[in-house]
Amino acid sequence: MTSLSTQHSELSTANCPLCGGDKASGKTTLTVELGYGIVVIRDVPTTVCQQCGADWIDDAIAGKIENIVEEARRKHSQMEVISLKAS
pLDDT digits (tens, 9 = 90+) for 35-84: 999 999 999 999 999 999 999 999 999 999 999 999 999 999 899 999 99
CA-based end-to-end distance of the chain:
22
- The whole-number pLDDT of residue 1 equals 38
Please, which pLDDT band fits residue 87 given cuts at 50, 70 and 90? low
Residue 34's alpha-carbon distances to 31, 49, 80, in angstroms, are 10, 28, 11
- The whole-number pLDDT of residue 5 equals 39
Show me where the domains of the chain are located: 8-83
pLDDT tens, residue by residue, 12-31? 568 999 999 999 999 999 99
The CATH code belonging to domain 8-83 is 3.10.20.860
